[in-house]
Every structure is written in structure tokens, then in C-alpha cells.
Structure 1
Amino acid sequence: MPHPRHRILSLGAGIQSSTLLALSANGVLPRVDYAIFADTGWEPAAVYRHLDRLEKEIAEPAGIPVLRVSSGNIRRDALDPEHRFASMPLYILNKDGNQGMTRRQCTGEYKIKPIKRQVRDILGYPYPARIPKGVFVEQWVGISTDEFHRAKDADVQYMHNRHPLIVDMNWSRTDCISYLTSLGLADTPKSSCLGCPFHGNAQWRNIRDNSPAEWADVVEFDKAIRNGNARANANGNRLLGEAYLHRSRVPLGEAPIDHVTAAEWAALQADSDTAQTNAEELELGVTDGCSPWACRGSEADTSQDDFGLAV
């Protein structure tokens, strides 16, 4: 079998990928040649602060370059009528009262696409050059044992995904948190956009209570996307539903983020097998966050539609 040209880390700056960077830098795992952070342009300030600290205290002393790549600013692009809209997984309230959710395209556009572009450059075959068979990188992906079902390979031959937390360490998310805590990184944040609709109530409260400027930002954005994306509106597309950031489908500034409503609780109790999982997601958000190679948006859901919001 051919050997990889390079060993790289897909660095989201969340719990699992931060753990992999530290394990590599400290010699517990082999040294990666690069760590690539895909910046959506709308990460929480805490993520940028953590990334700066990772680079200065962990990566640089070990000689691991941290490469920051981007396809643009997701917030600005979503409100720009001249920009093609890569839809976020927005909650929809249809005209007839039915509920839905838009397709999740943002991870592919703002995470996977710039990483692939950077990998091509590292290999010396920038797009649209054809990469010869057998030329590839080994890409480390931060997936722990509690989410092993999301471990899969990349969709291109020049990137081979590897999952060291599962294969080499047999570590869960709890193990990762313990390790980071031992390094003084107990405050490692969850990696996701500031206005990600997959936030749980605890995450929304944290923004509201600890970062007033960021809270004002997401409330303003939530209001701005109510009538669909800017390009669809500019083109006169017929709007089939209203868009919201919070799963309650009410304006974010009025959303019930301090408690579980009676209707939500009843819905949780309707299916006892999944009630616990749903309750945890309601409060803590989706556990996998926005990992480029483990996002639930890669799993086809035929019930999702554009609802007149995307063009």
C-alpha cells in the first residue's frame, strides 16, 4: 500500500480535535505535519481565543503549523443577495402551520471545501489539477468512541480519514475532557458557528448571559432571516415558510431558552426510547457540533426541503 504524503489534523478547535492536537504535540500519538482550521467567519469569540492558545501553547512548541482557511463569512454571505446561499439548517414554520427544516449545506461549503482546497495545495496539485492515484494525505478526524457511528472516510481519494481517538486511544468524549483538563484546557469550547441552529438552550443562555454583544448579533441575524435568504427575496422567489434559529420557531429573543415548554416536554415523552437523547439535545445541543467529517447533514433526510428559502 502507498504511504501518505502528509499527516494532517482537521482542527475544529472543539473537544476532540483539540485533544488530538495535544496528543500529537506531546508525543502520545505520532506528530501531524499540519493542523487545518476551517474558519466560517462567524465562530464565537471563545473559539478564536482557544484556537490562538492552542497554536501558541501546543502546536508551535511541537513544530506543528496551524493553517487557517476560509470560504468566506457565513453570516455576511447569508444576508448578501449577490451571494449564492449555502443553506444553514434553519427551523421552518410553514404557512399551513406545519414544521420543517432546511438542508444543511453550510458544513460542506464553509468547512469541507476550504480544507480540500488546502490539502490540494499541500500535495502540490491545486484545483483543477488531477491528483495521481496513490497520492494522498492521512487526515485525522476527532471522533470519539461515543460517536463511532459517524466515523467514515472522506469522499475523495486524495484524503484518507483516520480516527485515532477510536483506533489508537479508545477514548470517549469524557476521556478527552479529562485529558484537556489535565493540560489546563478545561474551558475548551464547543466548535460551531455563533448562530448555529443546532445550539441547545444552555448554549443560547451562555451567549445571552456572558456575551451581550454576541447575543445581540444572533438575535439580529435571526430577525434578518425570517423572510428567507436575501438572494431568494431579491429574485422574487415565493416564500413557503418563515425561518428561525431556535427550534421553538419563535424569534430568538423571545425563545424559551430558560426552560422546557409543556409542548416540548410532551413531545419528548411521546417516545420514551428517544426521550433522553432529545432532552439532552434540547439543553446541550447536538453533540457532534460542526465537525466537517461527522456532521448529521451528510446523512440524507428526504423530509428536508428548501421551503422557498434557497436558490
Structure 2
Amino acid sequence: MLALSAEGVLPKVDYAIFADTGWEPRAVYAHLDRMEREIAAPAGIPVLRVSTGNIRDDALDPDHRFASMPLYILNQDGKAGMTRRQCTGEYKIKPIKRQVRELLGYPYPARIPREVFVEQWVGISTDEFHRAKDADVKYMRNRHPLIDMGWSRADCVRYLSSLGLADTPKSSCLGCPFHGNAQWRQIRDTSPEEWADVVAFDAAIRQGNARANASGNRLLGQAFLHRSRVPLSEAPIDHVTAAEWAALQQELGSDEVATELEDGVTDGCSPWACRGDADAPSRDDFGLAT
């Protein structure tokens, strides 16, 4: 949407806001820098980076109140569970609201007059129209330009490709428990340092968050980043789940193409990293094996 606004396809926005959890992949920060430098700045659109802290550091700090990540739990009786997800509200929504209040001239806890509000654009495409919701405060009114334009994710990818931005990475915490196997594999196969980071974090949160443990509220079980509820270093991330397989088939319209996309070309490489001694396959603008 920033590019659409900068190019005049959509009206020019006053600001673009990025809520930083402090633990995004390096590729996301590099992409944000590029967008700010090549797209936003020439169009005169300020990019505001807001944050309430580093989610990774906070989770391991016994002196810090931690907003729970949705960790997979293996209880003492062997039953599976999951912790509540509070991180989006704490590390994404909260800093955005604080910034919006400041832009309006009514920092918390000042009361905002009913007639004062911002129009906030949310980047949800037609594929996920069910996620389009109103804001929970009156001083923010959500609008969904991509849905208004009838754009799907594929339309967005085509547009980004036309701007030379086909490699736009997904913004999410490096160690988000909602990663699919493909995302875990991408980290492992393309960024050894980041893989070591998430493996270390996974081991560190086995007994729950540090603040709860320090206060005597120990987790009655074990916590994991991967849905298999085994250490990330041992998790079956090379296994393609039924949901991932169905998504690939639907996106590509072919079982054969989906197989090649997941496994790479015969005797060659996976879409993200070399698997053997064969020459690496060529890659298209999306970084996928062709």
C-alpha cells in the first residue's frame, strides 16, 4: 500500500507506521530500509518505526512483564495445550495506538474528542477478507484499500514484481510459533545465525517465561516453538503438512508443480537452499526453483 500511495494509485498517506517487535528477520529490516529509501522518501511519506521493546529479550528477562507468545505446551499428563497470544496487542497494536495519539495531539491519557480520528489503512487482501475488522477505538477508523480494489495476494505479488520488489519478505517475529515448516526451513537453510538464535530461544523457554518462573508460577509442563512439541532442532520441519500441501496445490494449480516447488528440481535444490552436489537450479524473481 505504501508503494501504491507513493505512485499515486492510491491517495497519498500522511505517514506509514511499522510496529517493530525487535525480533524481525534481518531480511525484513533490510526491506524496510529499502522501502523507506526508494519508495517513501522520494514521495515525501515519513515512515515511523514504533516499538514497546524486544519480544525475545523480554521473554527471557525475569524482571520484565511479558506479554505471552502462543507457545505449544506439552502438559505433565501428556496432553497438548497452548499459551494465550498477547504479543500482537502488546508489541504491535499498543505502540501504533500510542503513535496515533501523539500524531493527533492527544497523547495518553488525554481524552480525544469524538470528531477527531485518523483513517488507518490495513493491508488485507481479498484472500483474507474475513480478517477485515473495525478498530476497537473511535479515534482510529480502519480502511482496507486492497479489498476495495479487489486485489488478491497474487495481484499484490504481481504489482510488487513490476517494481522490482518480488522478494518482499513476510513480517513476523523470527521465532513466531505460527511459522509453518516452510518458514522454519527457510530460516535454517538460508540464515545459520538466525537459525541458531531461534533454536537457542526455543530451548530457553522450555519451562515458560522467565518472569512467571521467577515469581513462582512455573509452567506445569514444557513449552515449544514448533507444533510437534519437540525441540526445534529436532522438529520434523522437512515434513510437509497436509495444510501446506493443499495450499501449494491451490496456489499453483498443479500437483506436479507443487511437488517441484516443495522439493526442488530432481537431484537439485530445494526452493531455498542447495541439498546436494548437483548444480543449483535457476531461480525466478520470487526466489523459487524453476
User: With structure 1 as the length reference, what TM-score do the two structures score?
Assistant: 0.78
What residue in structure 1 maps to residue 25 of structure 2? 44
Q: Give the Cα–Cα distance (whole angstroms) in 1 for the partners of residues 136 and 220 of structure 2.
A: 33
- Matches for 1:86-105 after TM superposition, within 5 Å: 86-105=67-86
In structure 2, what is the equivalent of residue 204 of structure 1?
Answer: 184
Cα deviation 1:155-192 (Å, max 9, x = unaligned)? 0000000000011x100001000000000000000110
C-alpha distance in structure 2 between counterparts of 1:50 and 1:42, whole Å: 15
Residue 182 of structure 1 is matched in structure 2 by: 162
Cα separation, 1, equivalents of 2:215 and 2:186: 37
Q: 1:141 aligns with which of 122, 126, 143?
A: 122
Give the deviation of 1:123 after TM superposition.
0.2
Distance 1:237 1:116 in 2: 31
Deviation at 1:275, TM superposition (A): 8.8
Residue 243 of structure 1 aligns to a residue in which SS?
A: strand
Matched, 1:126 2:107: yes
* CA distance in structure 1 between the partners assigned to 2:170 and 2:248 by the alignment: 19
Q: 1 CA distance for matches of 2:229 and 2:248? A: 17
Alpha-carbon RMSD across the aligned residues, in angstroms, is 1.9
1:297 aligned partner: none
Task: Name the SS of the counterpart of 1:37 in structure 2.
Answer: strand
TM normalised by structure 2 equals 0.83
1:241 aligns with 2:221: yes
CA separation in 2, counterparts of 1:275 and 1:186?
22
1:201, 1:123 → 2: CA distance?
42
Letter in 2 for 1:241: G
Q: Does 1:153 align with 2:134?
A: yes
Q: Give me the whole-angstrom Cα distance separating, in 2, the residues matched to 1:31 and 1:239.
A: 49
State the distance in 2 between where 1:57 and 1:251 align.
41
Distance 2:180 2:136 in 1: 30
Same amino acid, percent of matched pairs: 82
SS at match of 2:109: coil
Q: Gaps (5+ residues) in structure 1?
A: 1-19, 269-273, 281-311
Structure-2 residue corresponding to 1:25: 6
Identify if the C-alpha distance between structure 1 residues 278 and 97 changes in structure 2 by more than 3 Å, giving closer, same or farther: farther
Contact 2:126 2:153 in 1 (8 A): yes
Larger Rg belongs to? 2
Cα contact 2:207–2:218 (8 A) shared by 1: no
Cα shift readout 1:3-33 (whole Å, capped 9, x = no counterpart):
xxxxxxxxxxxxxxxxx11100000000000
* Aligned-partner SS, 1:49: helix
Structure 1 residues 236 and 279: alpha-carbon distance in aligned structure 2, compared to 1, 3 A threshold: farther
* CA positional deviation for 1:276: 3.5
What is the match of residue 95 of structure 2? 114
- Structure 1 CA distance, aligned partners of 2:20 and 2:196? 21
Contact 2:120 2:143 in 1 (8 A): yes
Give the total of aligned pairs: 251
Secondary structure in 1 matching 2:127: helix
Residue 220 in structure 1 maps to residue 187 in structure 2: no
Q: 1:81 to 1:278 in 2, by over 3 A?
A: farther
Unaligned runs of 5+ in 2: 251-290
1:240 to partner: Cα distance: 1.6
Shift of 1:235: 1.2
The superposition leaves residues 46-93 of structure 1 with CA deviations (integer Å, 9 ceiling, x where unpaired) of 000000000000000100000000000000000001111100111111
Q: Determine the C-alpha separation between the residues in 2 that align with 1:155 and 1:53.
A: 32
Instruction: String of CA shifts for 1:279-308, please: whole Å, max 9, x gaps.
Output: 99xxxxxxxxxxxxxxxxxxxxxxxxxxxx
Q: Are residue 74 (structure 1) and residue 52 (structure 2) matched?
A: no
Distance 1:206 1:41, change over 3 A: same
Residue equivalent to 1:166: 147
- Supply the distance in 1 between the matched residues of 2:53 and 2:111 (Cα, whole angstroms): 25
Q: Given the superposition, is the C-alpha separation of residues 279 and 100 from structure 1 closer, same or farther in structure 2, using an over 3 Å criterion?
A: farther
